[in-house]
Amino acid sequence: MIDFGNSDSAAELTVWLTERVAFYLDRGPETIRPDVDLAEYGVDSVYALSVVSDIEDRIQQEVDLGAARLYPTIDALVGYLLTLTARRDETADPVASAGA
């Protein structure tokens, strides 16, 4: 299981999200490119809600569906999620974020 709060990497998150999208679309993950707009694969609001729910379960943090929809590709969504979890981690440990 990926630990999104600590040692996650963009590569690990990309693989995981690709697998989740492929699962919902009933396709092989090798057919999903992380740089292609998810709408081109047929990801609609129902699929997007399911993926966001999976993300929330993994990162143990609420993800705004409206904000997540601003990132149309897996690559873009990964960047958003890494930023989101980094902010959460900074808020949770103010000493670490202050550089002490």
Q: Is 1 helix (H, G, I), strand (E, B) or coil?
A: coil
pLDDT for the residue numbered 50:
94
CATH dotted code for 10-90: 1.10.1200.10
Alpha-carbon span 60 to 8, nearest angstrom: 14
pLDDT for the residue numbered 84:
87
HSE-CB for 89 with a 13 A CA cutoff: 15
pLDDT per residue as tens digits for the range 41-93: 999 889 999 999 999 998 888 898 888 889 999 999 999 999 888 887 777 65
pLDDT for the residue numbered 95:
55
Sign of CA dihedral 25, 28, 33, 34: positive
Whole-model pTM?
0.79
* DSSP class of 30: G
Q: Quick one: tokens of 69?
A: 């929809």
Parse the chain into domains and list their residue ranges: 10-90
